């Protein structure tokens, strides 16, 4: 069993006293593999969860499936998304399925109500049930179905780790992370497809190489660049209203960000002409969704990647603890220093 070597990173205060602490770890890696900064153990092995979606989209692009079915950059961004389930997300996913001659019934991602509270509330009031199209992973699954059809493998369950789609996904992530595929642990994600566990440092390298494609074969470099461009051009498709990924990519040009379950987040950004990959992990899974944003924002601040006076930044840098009357009684803020190497 993995030992979580993490350190205190985000504190929760009440009445001026520390009430609880979120532990975390992070790795900051240059595209040549150099570990530049870290907190706790950068070799910590943990599941990438939905942060792997940009890498899972690689095979769809590189294989020719994306162009065969005429998918747009906006639709490619949805393949990389953990979307809100807002109408513009679900309509896009439905159009993608129509393009390949399939429907929501062919999605194997499971069902949940939209993350977007106003959309979910409107559906409940209208008595409209959720379908797989509302699942935050429906874009990714539509892409996997397109690739499966392109490969002539629709007769098999695309969720199976032995399916050609999943084998390609594993190989592509291993290639960008510069690890042997057999060293990557495979589990089952919340949407039922394989999820991959590798070290924070290796995953950060993979993110850096999405931006710096010079060492990649031409076809893979082009595919990676198309994915990065799609995410940067359509950040609303990757998350949606009031989502951290969407705000980050809208506010910091040149950055890509993809959050995953259980307090995981992967980012890539240029600094001083170098491509950096950043992978952060909150040890307790951040089920209350309160530590991840302050932690990542502080990492970016310490790397001098947050412009002063950035509009909207304060909302993500510090959380507020309120009582049942809405009165502020404490806060949630980072408390750590990155180490070099």
Structure pTM?
0.96
Going by C-alpha positions, the residue among 299, 320, 297, 319 that lies closest to residue 310 is 297
Angle (CA) 114 280 111, round 5°: 20
Distance CA 315, CA 336 (A): 19
Strand-by-strand arrangement of the 45-47 sheet:
45-47, 194-199, 185-188
- DSSP state letter for 129: P
Residue whose token pair is 């092995």? 45
Question: According to CATH, what is the number of the domain 7-340?
Answer: 3.40.710
- pLDDT less than 70: residues of the chain: 1-3
SS3 call for 239: coil
Evaluated on CA atoms 294, 297, 299, 301, the torsion sign reads: negative
Model pLDDT, residue 2: 54
Residue 295 contacts residue 9 (beta carbons within 8 Å): yes
Q: What residues does each domain of the chain span?
A: 7-340
Model pLDDT, residue 341: 86
SS3 call for 35: strand
Residue whose token pair is 């953990």? 82
Model pLDDT, residue 5: 85
Residue 258 contacts residue 80 (beta carbons within 8 Å): yes
């Amino acid at each position: 069993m993995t030992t979580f070597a993490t350190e205190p990173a985000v504190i929760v205060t009440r009445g001026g006293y520390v009430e609880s602490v979120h532990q975390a770890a992070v790795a900051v890696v240059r595209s040549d593999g150099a570990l530049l900064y870290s907190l706790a153990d950068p070799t910590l092995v943990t599941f990438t969860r939905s942060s792997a979606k940009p890498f899972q989209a690689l095979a769809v692009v590189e294989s020719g499936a994306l162009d065969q079915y005429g998918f747009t950059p906006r639709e490619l961004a949805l393949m990389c998304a953990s979307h809100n389930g807002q109408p513009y997300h679900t309509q896009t996913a439905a159009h993608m399925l129509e393009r390949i001659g399939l429907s929501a019934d062919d999605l194997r991602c499971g069902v949940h109500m939209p993350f977007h509270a106003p959309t979910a509330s409107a559906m409940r009031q209208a008595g409209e049930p959720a379908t797989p199209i509302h699942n935050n992973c429906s874009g990714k699954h539509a892409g996997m179905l397109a690739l499966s059809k392109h490969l002539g493998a629709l007769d098999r369950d695309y969720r199976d780790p032995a399916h050609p789609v999943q084998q390609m996904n594993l190989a592509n992530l291993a290639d960008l992370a510069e690890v042997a595929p057999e060293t990557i642990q495979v589990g089952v994600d919340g949407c039922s497809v394989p999820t991959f566990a590798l070290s924070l440092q290796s995953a950060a390298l993979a993110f850096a190489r999405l931006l710096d494609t010079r060492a990649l074969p031409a076809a893979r470099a082009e595919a990676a660049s198309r994915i990065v461009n799609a995410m940067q051009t359509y950040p609303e498709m990757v998350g949606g209203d009031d989502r951290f990924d969407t705000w980050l990519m809208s506010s910091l040009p040149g950055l890509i960000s993809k959050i995953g379950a259980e307090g995981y987040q992967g980012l890539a950004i240029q600094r001083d002409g170098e491509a950096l990959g950043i992978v952060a992990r909150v040890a307790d899974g951040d089920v209350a969704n309160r530590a991840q944003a302050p932690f990542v924002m502080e990492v970016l601040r310490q790397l001098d990647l947050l412009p002063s006076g950035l509009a909207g930044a304060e909302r993500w840098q510090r959380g507020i603890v309120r009582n049942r009357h809405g009165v502020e009684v404490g806060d949630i803020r980072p408390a750590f220093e990155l180490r070099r190497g």
